[in-house]
A and B are shown apart, each in its own frame.
Chain A
């Protein structure tokens, strides 16, 4: 029963990792940009939520109404003002620039908020749980988080395959020069993709901040979890990314159950095993002949 509980907690945690990963894989898919600052942007979103909650005295979950559009606007501005200039045939410039951005965000947050770890308080919902029988109980908060993650992934899937914006994303991803010839302004499309990515980052950041303590330095580790979930799930597949996040979460939970020190190690080992046995990931998007 203890193991069942462990796995259940791992699955719920996996939803959060899937959200770290979704934004990352979205922008890599659309514009081949590897965003090293992704983890730090998650932490930035958490701090924006902190400021919002302190200023307005609202519940952290409610602060999403504000944090999501703010992060989306930051994303659009960042892409059009800075990152679009780094894109080209060479993958290195965006890598270096986002690495620099990561350093700037970390140190900026350190200056503003000190290195003390903080946490968002979601109130009594944090300790509520639902008994599911057999002595097992699911926390309401983790359940909300997981449901949000599934909703975000399903929403992304719908947006990508059912809307004009999703078509524009996929067309631009396929062939940028021809997309331009069809009247798509790549600079704008990329801006929208980054805005969407950071909107997801905002949700992930708030959930992270409610779940555990955070400080300005924890971004890079979130980036690694995001990368691992993307690789485990297979690039280009939204539901694969969710599965990747869940596998990572379960592996970490099992590791922690065996020995508290093995928490992160178990996740990394699961990732390495997948990378060694199925480098294309567990659920790669079926590569249609081209």
Chain B
């Protein structure tokens, strides 16, 4: 088995008195696409936030290239090469599209991604580069959010619910670009409500239920029955 790029081991996370994750473990290898699925409130977004360094967790619960990064700070985790596309896009509303991308790239990490490459991936962003971010459609905002994360030249990209609130045709359009992104040599973790899309995109799938890993395995070995059982806990 190849050395994992990202190793999460026994991760607990809490919001005040509420515990959101219980002993979650997962691994992501170089160049792999991993999907995390589960019902609302299962802890998927929390897991991504923990990996991105935005939550206070045990330092060695999250190892990136063998280095403990649990608990952040988030701005240092980015400089190590982990970028998060946050749930709900969260573009900076008072910045233009291009300024949003530039903020994503302000650390100056070396790598294949720059303004030109992001515009090649999502040509519509170049047409709208000087418009305020909130004036974009939902799908375009999602592209800008992905582009903004890519601008930091991550080697591990975390995408939180990129299909949320988008029309199916737009979702297909965005997912169609995923292979081109992965081809640049990064690993990808997607959190997805759309199970069909998740199984189609990822090689390995984790299913969370009430903060615990209820099921995991190769995407092609997981049956619909197994997933529903893990999803709903019935």
Which chain B residues numbered 69 to 106 have a C-beta less than 8 Å away from chain A? 73-75, 78-79, 83-84, 86, 90, 92-95, 99-100, 102-104, 106
Is the CB of B164 closer than 8 A to any CB of chain A?
no
| B54 & A182 in contact (Cβ 8 Å cutoff) | no
Per-residue B-contact encoding for A184-206, CB less than 8 Å = 1, 0 else: 11100000000000000000000
Tell me, rounded to whole Å, the shortest Cβ–Cβ distance linking A242 to chain B.
Answer: 20
CA gap between A288 and B94 in the complex, in Å: 7
Give A186 to B54 CA distance when docked, in angstroms. Answer: 13
For window 101-157 of B, CB contacts with A under 8 Å fall at: 102-104, 106-107, 132, 134-135, 148, 152
Query: When the two chains form their complex, are residues A174 and B92 in contact, meaning their CB atoms are under 8 A apart?
Result: yes
| Residue B52 interfacial (CB < 8 Å) | yes
A290 with B93: CB separation less than 8 A: yes
Given A164-B102, A171-B103, A290-B134, answer yes or no on A181-B54 (Cβ-Cβ < 8 Å). yes
B93 contact from A174, A179, A181, A183, Cβ within 8 A: A174
**CB nearest to A165 among chain B residues:** B106
Residues from chain B with a CB closer than 8 A to the CB of A167 are: 95, 99, 102-103, 106
A52 at the interface (CB under 8 A from B): no
User: Which interface residue of A164, A167, A185 has the most chain B CB atoms within 10 A?
Assistant: A167
Report the minimal beta-carbon distance from A130 to chain B, rounded to whole angstroms: 41
Interface: A170 (CB within 8 A): yes
Note all chain A residues with C-beta closer than 8 A to B90: 175, 178
Q: A289 CA to B99 CA in the complex, in Å?
A: 17
In the bound complex, what is the Cα–Cα distance between A1 and B185 (angstroms)? 75
Chain A residues near B104: list those with CB within 8 A: 182
* Chain A min CB distance to B208 (Å): 21
Q: Is A177 an interface residue (CB 8 A)?
A: yes
- Docked complex Cα distance between A186 and B100 (Å): 17
Cα-based distance from A288 to B95 in the complex (angstroms): 10
Contact status of A183 and B73, CB under 8 A, knowing A170-B95, A288-B132: no
How many angstroms from the CA of A263 to the CA of B92 in the assembled complex? Answer: 43
Given known contacts A181-B74, A183-B79, A171 and B107 CB-to-CB distance under 8 angstroms: no
Given contacts A178-B90, A288-B135, contact A183 B95 (CB under 8 A): no
Interchain CB contact under 8 A, A174 and B94: yes
Within 8 A of A (CB), among B155-202: none
Indicate if the CB atoms of B103 and A179 lie closer than 8 Å: yes
Q: Contact at B86–A181, with CB atoms within 8 Å? A: yes
Question: Contact between B134 and A183 (Cβ–Cβ < 8 Å)?
Answer: no
Also in contact, A183 and B86, with CB within 8 A (given A174-B94, A290-B93): no
Asked whether any CB of chain B lies closer than 8 Å to the CB of A173, the reply is yes
| A168 beta carbon closer than 8 Å to chain B | yes
Given contacts A181-B86, A182-B152, A183-B107, A174 and B95 within 8 Å (CB-CB)? yes
Bound together, the chains give a CA A186 to CA B148 distance in angstroms of 18
Q: Is A54 an interface residue (CB 8 A)?
A: no
Taking a contact as CB atoms under 8 Å apart, the answer to whether B94 and A170 are in contact is yes
Q: Do residues B94 and A182 form an inter-chain contact, with CB atoms below 8 A?
A: no
Chain B residue numbers with a CB within 8 Å of A183 are 75, 78-79, 106-107, 152
Size of interface on A: residues with Cβ below 8 Å to B = 21
Q: Which residue among A179, A180, A182, A289 has the maximum number of chain B CB atoms within 10 Å of its CB? A: A182
Residues A173 and B94 in contact, CB atoms below 8 Å apart: yes
Give Cα A221 to B104, complex, Å. 42
Distance of A17 Cα from B94 Cα, bound (Å) = 27
For B95, list chain A residues within 8 Å (CB).
167, 170-171, 174
Contacts of A177 in B (CB 8 A): 54, 74
Decide: B134 and A178 in contact? CB cutoff 8 A.
Answer: no
Measured CA separation A183–B108 after assembly (Å): 10
Q: State which of A164, A175, A180, A185 has its C-beta within 8 Å of the C-beta of B92.
A: A175
A26-65 interface bits toward B, Cβ cutoff 8 Å, 1 = contact, 0 = none: 0000000000000000000000000000000000000000
| In the complex with contacts A167-B106, A168-B103, A288-B132, A181-B78 CB distance below 8 A | yes
Closest Cβ–Cβ distance, residue A88 to chain B (whole Å) = 14
Note all chain A residues with C-beta closer than 8 A to B73: 180, 185
Contacts of B102 in A (CB 8 A): 164, 167
When the two chains form their complex, are residues B148 and A182 in contact, meaning their CB atoms are under 8 A apart?
yes
Given A175-B92, A181-B74, A182-B152, 15 more A-B residue pairs with CB atoms under 8 Å apart are: A167-B99, A167-B103, A170-B94, A171-B92, A171-B95, A171-B103, A174-B94, A174-B95, A175-B90, A178-B92, A180-B74, A181-B75, A183-B107, A288-B134, A289-B135
Pairs across A and B, CB under 8 Å, 16 listed: A167-B95, A167-B102, A167-B103, A168-B103, A168-B106, A171-B92, A178-B86, A178-B92, A179-B92, A180-B73, A182-B78, A182-B103, A185-B75, A288-B94, A288-B132, A289-B135
Give me the 9 closest cross-chain CB pairs, A-B, nearest first: A183-B78, A183-B107, A174-B92, A180-B74, A290-B93, A171-B92, A185-B75, A178-B90, A171-B103
